[in-house]
Structure 1
Amino acid sequence: MKVLQINSVCGVGSTGRIVTDIHNLLLEQGHDSIIAYGRGLPKNSNGAIRIGTNLDNYSHLALTRIFDKHGFGSNKATREFINKIEDINPDIIHLHNIHGYYLNVELLFNYLKKVEKPVVWTLHDCWAFTGHCAYFDYIGCEKWQTLCSNCPEKSTYPGSLLIDNSKNNFMRKNDIFTGVKDLTIVTPSRWLANLVKKSYLNEYPVKVINNGIDLRIFKPTESNFRERYGLENKFVILGVANIWDRRKGLKYFIDLSERINTNEIIVLVGLTEKQKSLLPKNIVGITKTNNVNELVEIYSTANIFINPTLEDNFPTTNLEALACGTPVVTFETGGSIESVDDSCGFVVKKGDIDDVLSSIRKLSIGNRILDYSKNSILRAEKLYYDKDRYNEYIDIYNKLYY
């Protein structure tokens, strides 16, 4: 069986690592696997195919910023890529993030409808069924259920600085993304699956497959992180994000920093240099790292992981923290709550810093945190081992192929 996966990135970020994890599992089981990606450099995958060039990305970005036509650029790059698909002749085509300034979705889906190969499409956000945005939870918009227009999230990813083309985008995407003969949608969370069933994609079967992580890497790990950052004898409160934008809740850590005790410290990973320069003294800022081992050391060092996300699907940061023995506190947001139960952390009301602080206090009483830490590891081992989760994809491939 030959599987082609398509994603915006390869081997980096949460979706990029999911793609390479599935790829490596396929190879282990004797299948053929190819990854095609749109941006940056590939990691952990030999022979990955780049779709287009940096210039194609910049041209698509300009089309998005000016005309709000994200997904409708990259004509030449997509035509050339379709020719490569013909040469590869995969048995299964697995789509992930097809947004990201690198693909023309109309050309791609016209090809998929014509070739009639089985398609699996993992939705990592909501972009596939909106006229513009990747998430709408923050503002409570429900236009995507009927017809997007006058988009209140026009400036957010994939941001447009001038024109609002959300109405036309919605109608075109509705036409483009429906009518594929043999397409299965996968979502990492029940939350997103329920949204898909309310959207114009509801003609397709939907299966929930949680994200998984490599438990050989993400596990409690000794390090000298505390010594290097002068955090000995501190209760470490951790936050990790790929990009600390409005959606990820940076402001709540700033609010929290004004209320924690002197023996408590906040560590944030994924900040820009500018964001670091604006932090109060009781927040240690660390820029983005693609060094997984360093990330594991930081997770393992922390006493508690806080995820104040305002919009999210099924964040792998929660899983990584649990696997390293760090209990999780998350806002009651999207699919983030699905990875946490009472044994390994707390789900708190969105935006409620009092509740976050109360959760920290509960964990810091006596040896209670040791129990939460053990339960966190057990939950990760039971539910989020990557091979278990991604074998579910291979089960889908087999059912579609044989």
Structure 2
Amino acid sequence: MVLHLSTFHLEGGAGVAAARLHRALQKSGIDSHLLTQFSSREKENVTSLADTKWQTRKAWSYFIAERLAFYPHEKDASVRFAFSPAEAGVDISEHPLVREATVIHLHWVNFGFLSISSLQKLFLLGKPIVWTLHDMWTFTGGCHYSRGCDKFLTHCGYCPYLAKPDRYDISFSQFEAKEALYAKPDLALISPSNWLDQMVKNAPLTAGNSSKCIPNCIDTQFFTPLDQNIVRVNLGLPVDKTLILFTGANIQDVRKGFSYFQEALALAKSHFPHIEVMIFGKADKDNLVDFPVPVHYLGKITEPQGMVDAYNAADLIVVPSLEDNLPNTIMEAMSCGTPAVGFATGGIPEMIDHKKNGYVAELRSVLSLTEGIKWVLENDQGGKIAALAREKVLESYSEHIIADQYQQLYQSLLNG
């Protein structure tokens, strides 16, 4: 039995990716279970530690304790959730599912789910461990994305996320703790993108461990092309406009690059006067008032069918992330036949084949992002680019393809 561990279920990119892999493995005949700190809804073989009101309060207490552990150190509020000290967490080493598991598969486990101490107790069980990395935290002294800092390539300390960085700050101590933790022969580190896998191989904390790239997966029968006009009518969107989509769990997160999107639209509207924008995700409506083109704000969409409809309503999606791994939004949009434009960062250039099924823009360049928008709109005649976007997902990220790769990995670990 394979047991997946994830802080969230169907929340955030990492939680969604973990749940999708769990379902894909079930479909392929693997006995797969998912144990989470918080659960969004009941699903087969998904167990939450917060099933009752009392357990939910307890889970939130761990989350609060984790944040309070970092609060005295944080530089300012902008980095509050960008660094995890991993000092508060649950000991699940005696949980029945953990004891029953033949393989333990870690995903994103921060925010009070698993601490360094919790991980140590899991590792001491002697079971094979697979860890799918959804950001950089596994091989840094605590940050989820380094924002250009390369200290993790030698030894963390003097952390730029901290109010008073010094040689022996909390990034130094977490780095040391992880160094001891990873001295385990049957630990496999899996990165959804080649970009992240290369960093795993170069980072001193993880260079000695087995590592490879296996992408996230998606249900291509669910995320599928629909009739755009019908979807737009159902959503109350105009059928005679060019609609460009921007989405994210938190639009205001600086890492998502919303300001670049806004500037690019201001330039693009002179070439395409019928451009309008669709946005879904957590957003401050006040920030959309002065947007250069009309905005259709769809709010936070939690139901998967609502996401499918939104992707199908759009003519293209723009993902100007400044740092990212393998964005679910690009995969979801392309699976629905919606071309993507994104910055050349992280795993984005691996998803979008430049000027074939979308456009990869120069990082942090508004002009290049604008050119990408123009290129897609001018060249997607007859849905040619849209079809190639869908084809890329079918060939690279389909459930059966990714499930098969993980099955082979599990078997190799069990065979020693």
TM-score, normalization by structure 2: 0.86
Amino acid across the alignment from 2:67: L
In the alignment, the residues of structure 1 paired with residue 357 and residue 68 of structure 2 have an alpha-carbon distance, to the nearest angstrom, of 45
Q: Do 1:98 and 1:105's aligned partners in 2 also have CA atoms closer than 8 Å?
A: no
What residue is the counterpart of 2:114 in the other structure? 103
Distance 1:372 1:97, change over 3 A: same
Instruction: Please say if residues 326 and 347 of structure 2, whose CA atoms lie closer than 8 Å, have aligned partners that are also in contact.
Output: yes
Measure, in 2, the Cα distance between the counterparts of 1:41 and 1:129: 29
SS in 2 for 1:120: strand
Q: Which residue of 2 aligns with 1:20?
A: 19
Q: What residue in structure 2 maps to residue 236 of structure 1?
A: 243
> Is the alpha carbon distance of 1:169 and 1:357 closer, same or farther for their aligned partners in structure 2, counting shifts above 3 Å?
same
Is 1:70–1:101's contact at 8 Å kept on the other side of the alignment?
no
Measure the CA separation in 2 of the matches of 1:88 and 1:132: 28
Shift of 1:98: 2.1
Give 1:371 deviation, angstroms: 1.1
1:367-401 CA-partner distances (Å, limit 9, x unpaired): 53621111111111111112211221122112222
Q: Secondary structure at the match of 1:60?
A: helix
* TM-score, reference length from structure 1: 0.89
Residue matched to 2:184: 180
Contact persistence 2:345–2:363 (CA under 8 A) = yes
Higher deviation after alignment, 34-43 or 380-389: 34-43
Compared CA separation, residues 111 and 13, structure 1 to 2 (3 A) = closer
- 1:87: Cα distance to partner? 6.5
Instruction: Select 1:171's aligned residue among 173, 176, 196.
Output: 176
Are 1:11 and 2:24 an aligned pair? no
Matched, 1:387 2:400: yes
Q: Does 1:73 align with 2:81?
A: no
Equivalence for 2:362? 349
Structure 2 distance, partners of 1:302, 1:369, is: 15
CA distance in 1, matches of 2:226, 2:118: 47
Superimposed CA distance per residue, residues 306-358 of structure 1 (whole angstroms, 9 cap, x where no aligned partner): 11000001112111111111111110111111001131011110121212222
Percentage of matched positions with identical amino acids? 26
The equivalent position to 1:252 in structure 2, one of 244, 251, 260, is 260
Q: Given that residues 28 and 403 in structure 2 are in contact (C-alpha distance below 8 angstroms), is that contact kept between their aligned partners in structure 1? A: no
More displaced stretch, 381-390 vs 14-23: 14-23
Separation in structure 1 between the aligned mates of residue 392 and residue 122 of structure 2, nearest angstrom: 42
Shift in CA distance, 258/174, structure 1 to aligned 2, threshold 3 Å:
same
For 2:248 and 2:191, how far apart are their aligned partners in 1?
A: 21
After TM superposition, list the pairs within 5 Å mapping 1:232-381 onto structure 2: 232-244=239-251, 245-261=253-269, 262-274=273-285, 278-280=289-291, 282-341=294-353, 342-365=355-378, 368=381, 370-381=383-394
> Is 1:36 equivalent to 2:35 in the alignment?
yes
Amino acid at match of 1:129: F
**CA 258–26 in structure 1, closer or farther in 2 if over 3 Å, else same:** closer
Q: 1:34 to 1:362 in 2, by over 3 A?
A: closer
Q: Is the 8 A contact 2:288 2:295 kept in 1?
A: no
Hey, what's the Cα distance between the residues in 1 that align with 2:306 and 2:287? Answer: 19
**Aligned residues: CA RMSD:** 2.4
Alignment: residue pair count: 387
User: How much does 1:152 deviate?
Assistant: 1.6
Q: After TM superposition, give the deviation of residue 296 of structure 1 in Å.
A: 0.9
**What displacement does 1:277 show?**
5.2
1:128 aligns with 2:138: yes
Matched residues in 2 for 1:174 and 1:279: separation?
Answer: 49
Q: Name the amino acid aligned to 1:33.
A: S
Q: Report runs of 4+ in structure 1 exceeding 6 Å deviation.
A: none
**Gapped regions of structure 2 (runs ≥ 5):** 51-57, 75-83
Q: Which residue of 1 aligns with 2:64?
A: 58
Does the Cα contact within 8 Å between 2:341 and 2:358 map onto a contact in 1?
A: yes
Counterpart CA distance in 1 for 2:111 and 2:295 is 32
